[in-house]
Amino acid sequence: MAQLGNPTNTIEILNKYKFVIQKKFGQNFLIDTHVLDKIIQAADITKEDFVLEIGPGIGTLTQYLCENAKEVVAVEIDKMLIPILNDTLSEYDNVTVINSDVLKLDLTALVQERNNGQPIKVVANLPYYITTPIIMDLLERHLPLKSITVMVQKEVADRMQTGPGSKDYGALSLAVQYYAKPYIAANVPANCFMPRPNVGSAVINLALHTEAPFEVKDEKLLFRLIRASFNQRRKTLVNGLNNSAELPYTKEEIAQVLSTLGISENIRGEALTLEQFITLSNQLYVLR
C-alpha cells in the first residue's frame, strides 16, 4: 500500500472510494511526510509502545504508527472511513480499527484488555471543534497514560502551555499543566493539510506526571475554583468565586483565605499560578 503522507496517494484513495469530506467531523487530512515524522518523534514511539490513535481518518498517521509501535488501536467515528482504513492498513497486522466515538468508549477496559493495564501513548490529529473535550476527557479519566501527542489548533497549543499573566492563560492551561508537562514540538502551516484549514496548527506533547507534583485535598473543588475564576475574567477573584453557583463560600471567607495566603483581594484569577490555586483550594476545603 502506498504511503498516504504523499498528496497524490491521498487524492487517489479518496477518489477510489468517492469519499466526501465531512465538515461535521472536522476532517483535514495530513499531506506532509516531514510533519508525520515529527509527530512520531515527539511521541517518541518505539516497538515497546501500545498506541491509541483518535481519528485516524484514511490512515495516514496510522501507517507511520504501525511501522514504529508494538500495537495500535485506532478509533474512528465516521463509519464511511472504515472500508478505506481496512484497505490502507491491510498490510499491517498490529492494528485494530474501532468504529466508535472515543468519548463513549470504555478506555480503561480497553487498556486493561489490550495492554494488561500498562500505560499507553495517545497520538491524534484531532478535529479542532472537539479538541478540548477529548483532551480533558483523557486526562480526567485518570487512564494509565505515558503521554498524549496531538495536532491541535496553534492557538489551543499556546493556551495549554502558557503561564499566568498571558491573555491565553485560562482553565485549559491550568487543567493540562495539573496533569502533564506540555511541550510544543512543531508548528504546522495550513498547506500541510487537505482540505486546507483556516488556521495554523501545532503538534503538542503532554507528558503525564508520574506522580502528582502537588497535594490536592479535593480535585473537584480545585477545578470549580479554576472555572469560576475564568468565567468572568474581568472580575476580581473574590467576586468571580462569590458569583459562582458551584461554590458555597461567602465573600468574607474568600477574602480571609486570600489574606492568609498573602494574596491581594483585588487580584484577578488570571494572575494566580497553579500552585496558588491549589493552596487556595486546600484552604477553602478545610472551611467546609
Identify the H or E element spanning 177: helix 171-179
What is the pLDDT at residue 128? 83
What is the pLDDT at residue 129? 83
Half-sphere exposure (Cβ direction) of 215: Cα atoms closer than 13 Å: 4
pLDDT in tens, 274-285: 999 999 999 999
Q: Which residues, other chains included, contact 244 with Cβ-Cβ below 8 Å and sequence gap of 6+?
A: 224, 227, 228, 231
Averaged pLDDT score across all residues of the chain = 92
pLDDT in tens, 223-268: 999 999 998 878 899 999 999 999 999 999 999 999 999 999 899 9
User: Residue 195: which of 41, 19, 69 has the closest Cα?
Assistant: 19
With 80 as the cut, is the pLDDT of residue 176 above it? yes
What is the pLDDT at residue 20? 76
Is-contact 124 135, C-beta < 8 A? no
What is the pLDDT at residue 26? 63
Lookup result for grid cell 474512528: 76
Task: Count Cβ atoms below 10 Å from residue 284 Cβ, excluding itself.
Answer: 22
pLDDT in tens, 58-117: 999 999 999 999 999 999 999 999 999 999 999 999 999 999 999 999 999 999 999 999
Give the residue-averaged pLDDT of 42-65.
96
| Residue ranges of domains in the chain, CATH in brackets | 7-208 (3.40.50.150), 219-287 (1.10.8.100)
- The rounded distance, in Å, linking the Cα atoms of 123 and 54 is 7
Give the sign of the dihedral formed by CA 161, CA 282, CA 241, CA 247.
positive
- The rounded distance, in Å, linking the Cα atoms of 57 and 76 is 7
pLDDT in tens, 116-149: 999 999 999 988 888 999 999 999 999 999 999 9
Identify the H or E element spanning 219: helix 219-231
With 90 as the cut, is the pLDDT of residue 196 above it? no
Cell of 221: 473543588
